[in-house]
Amino acid sequence: MFEFTKYEALGNDYIIIDPNQYDVPMTADIVRRICDRHLGVGSDGILYGPFIEGDRIRLRIFNPDGSECEKSGNGLRIFARYVYESKYVKSQTFSIHTRAGEVVANILDSKEGLIKVLMGSYTFQSEQLPMAGAPREVIQEPLELDGETLRVTCVSVGNPHCVVPLEEISRDKAFQLGPRLSSHALFPQKTNVQLMKVLDSHNIQIEIWERGAGYTLASGSSSCAAACAAHRLGLVQSPVTVHMPGGRLEIEIDRDGRISMTGTARSVAQGVFTPEFKARLRG
């Protein structure tokens, strides 16, 4: 019997806690303790599920700062592999319900962990992000940041994103701009940030700052958001390969405005919490 499983998707690592095996109250403090890389197990977040509700499989997703988020592309691929390998589902295609709604996962290659997720639709409407100001599509909108004017395109793929096209991007640039953009007054619930460089008509490169995790090697929802922004701006055509420090994802955007994401998810470890650590979790 194990109490948690750890997976990684392009260097983005998540702990799965299955409430059917080990029920733990997912308070912000407990999430932070588990995710702490020095005092806990260490991860970019926790996937808490599955909750089996008839034919419905539900997932809760937590950031390492303790906040609960709507959707995670990498997390969904990881969770899809876990659900399939744990035999909660028999079909290689099944639905997962998140705070942002339903997504459909398709296990393309169970041995290699190659998974396609239909992520749903996207929107550039400010009120859907949400974003302060009059209702509008946020396309190449000027944003003042400490005396510098950036052109941002903001998109929701179930969670909020601010995409900044630049000629050159870097990890240092993400650390410089990411936290300030993420917590900008325009975003009352904060936002994820992608610095984006277009490589050619089917390839983009991004650096990522996530609102609940900080600098991240890879992100599925960020890849979807950046690809949608680049596509709307006429910079790329579908399909789009998104290059990140942790690896690549393939993003497709259909004519009806729906997004699909294809990439890998790999298992890392199974483990148990020690009685001493459990006692700290229970307070």
The predicted-structure confidence for 15-69, as pLDDT tens digits, reads as follows 999 999 998 899 999 999 999 999 999 999 999 999 998 888 999 999 999 999 9
Domains of the chain: 4-120+266-282 (3.10.310.10), 126-256 (3.10.310.10)
Return the percentage of the chain with pLDDT > 70, whole number: 99
Q: What is the pLDDT of residue 65?
A: 95
Q: What is the pLDDT of residue 168?
A: 96
**pLDDT grade for 283, boundaries at 50, 70 and 90:** low
pTM: predicted TM-score of the whole model, two decimal places: 0.93
Mean predicted confidence (pLDDT) in 85-110 = 95
pLDDT of 1 over the 70 cut: no
Compute the mean pLDDT over every residue in the chain, rounded to the nearest whole number: 95
Mean predicted confidence (pLDDT) in 116-133 = 95
pLDDT of 187 over the 80 cut: yes
Mean predicted confidence (pLDDT) in 130-148 = 94
pLDDT of 8 over the 70 cut: yes
Return the percentage of the chain with pLDDT > 90, whole number: 91
Mean predicted confidence (pLDDT) in 212-240 = 96
What are the DSSP calls for the chain, one per residue?
Answer: --SEEEEEETTEEEEEE-TTT------HHHHHHHH-TTTSS--S-EEEEEEEETTEEEEEEE-TTS-EES--HHHHHHHHHHHHHTTS-SSSEEEEEETTEEEEEEEEETTTTEEEEEEEE-B-BGGGTT-SSSS-B-SSEEEEETTEEEEEEEEESSSEEEEEE-SS--HHHHHHHHHHHHT-TT-TT--EEEEEEEEETTEEEEEEEETTTEEES--HHHHHHHHHHHHHTTS--SSEEEEETTEEEEEEE-TTSEEEEEEE-EEEEEE---HHHHHHHH-
